[in-house]
Amino acid sequence: MDRYHRMSKVGEGTYGVVYQARDLETQEIVALKKIRLDHEDDGVPGTAIREISLLQELQHENIVGLKRVVQQDEKLYLVFEFLDQDLKKYIDTVKGAIGAELVRSFMWQLCQGIYFCHCRRVLHRDLKPQNLLIDREGNMKIADFGLARAFGIPLRRYTHEVWLLWTLLYYGMPVF
């Protein structure tokens, strides 16, 4: 990871630590997510695999960009575009009410990102202020796709109870 100079720790989660870093080749500021690999269990966490595979497909102005994936020294690094803060930190630092125009802008951007995901049959499943990143220009991007799922026509078999429930939900209750 000689290419990246860690500048500061941004946050920490279940599977790793996020740093603000400088890409020494491009001089760009990036977010560097270091994933802990636990070789006693299953190696790369499923959340990291999901996040990588989905973000490689989901390229949109309101979804955080995954730039690179690097494995080195039994660690996995995800290199993301860097945004200044998350929505929770922004709300906590604002004095007074957030203006209606800015709220409208945030909601529009959030809906655009969600719409893009849903059109590609992806459910985020963990939308919260900490996973909505904002830059200094007021651009919002959805982040942390570790719990996201692709959805489609169910391919696995269900028990009769689940199949009946699904059929009733889809077609409605039969009239006798």
Provide the CATH number for the domain around residue 23.
1.10.510.10
**Residue 9: both structure tokens together:** 């720790």
**Residue 130: both structure tokens together:** 């900490």
Q: What are the pLDDT digits (tens) for 11-28?
A: 887 678 999 999 999 999
How much is the pLDDT for 72?
87
Cα–Cα dist 73/14, whole Å: 20
Total number of domains constituting the chain: 1
Cα–Cα dist 176/173, whole Å: 9
Question: Could you list the residue range(s) of the whole structural domain that residue 50 is in?
Answer: 4-150
Cα–Cα dist 94/106, whole Å: 15
Q: What are the pLDDT digits (tens) for 89-143?
A: 999 999 999 999 999 999 999 999 999 999 999 999 999 999 999 999 999 999 9
Q: Is residue 172, in this structure, part of any structural domain at all?
A: no
126 catalytic per annotation: yes
- Is 67 a known ligand-binding residue? no
Which residue in 38, 84, 92, 126 is the catalytic one? 126
